[in-house]
Amino acid sequence: MSTTTSPSPRHLAAMGIQAWRRRGVRTDQVEPDTARPEAGVDDADWRELAQQVASCTRCELHSTRTNTVFGSGDEHAEWMFVGEAPGSEEDKRGLPFVGRAGKLLTAMITALGMQREEVYIANVLKCRPPNNRDPMGAEVAQCECFLHRQVALVEPKIIVALGRFAAQSLLKTTQPIGKLRGEQFSYAETGIPLIVTYHPAYLLRNPIDKRKVWQDLCFAKGILAS
């Protein structure tokens, strides 16, 4: 693992910040008649893609969701954070990472010297699995085209996979997260650097590992700087 900078008191304080601002514009709330009927996922623009997600019935998760959770943030961001699936609060509000884990993610972004609105945040799945169970392989297979298109539209300079499931899904691997941290990967065939770190929900249960996450974020920042 590469040597990384130790967190200063200011950085650690930032990672404890609970306040955050919600984006004023939600691309997942669009009128049905705004999308070109002939547009496929691979050539959809933001509004068309958001509408396709909102009306998706590809897997059984559509029958239990309250809202789809498309994504939020800067649509031309340098940083893209990817989690696994919406939780109960995200399902209610239709936005990613808005519960306790979301507040911690906001603090992590703040510690990097950015605002939440400056990055793009999405999940592998756009619908909540019942009882927050792990996503199933068939669900990922049906949904991952939406995330792939989001990556293509954002064109981030780096992707941060949050947690074991997101990392394994994005990298098509079964390696445990402990063996994936501290390494630089590329997402699919895009050549976009991808690094792996712990999910904010895990940090709520294991706050001692916040220091490891800071190391991972410094590693990612170093990749961009180089």
pLDDT in tens, 32-51: 544 445 579 999 999 999 99
pLDDT at 132: 86
pLDDT at 30 over 60: no
3-state secondary structure (DSSP) of residue 120: strand
Q: Residue 55 is encoded by which pair of tokens?
A: 């009306």
User: Tokens 């990612």 correspond to what residue?
Assistant: 220
Give the pLDDT mean for 183-193.
95
The C-alpha atoms of residue 95 and residue 87 are separated, in whole angstroms, by 10
Reported confidence tier of residue 14, pLDDT bands at 50, 70, 90: low
Q: pLDDT grade, residue 22 (50/70/90)?
A: very low
Q: Return the pLDDT at 9.
A: 56
pTM listed for this prediction:
0.83
Q: Where are the beta strands (DSSP E) in the chain?
A: 72-73, 79-83, 120-123, 158-162, 185-186, 193-197
> How does DSSP classify residue 94?
T
Q: CATH number for the 42-225 domain, one of 3.40.50.2300, 3.30.110.30, 3.40.470.10, 1.50.10.20?
A: 3.40.470.10
Token pair, residue 87, equals 């939780």
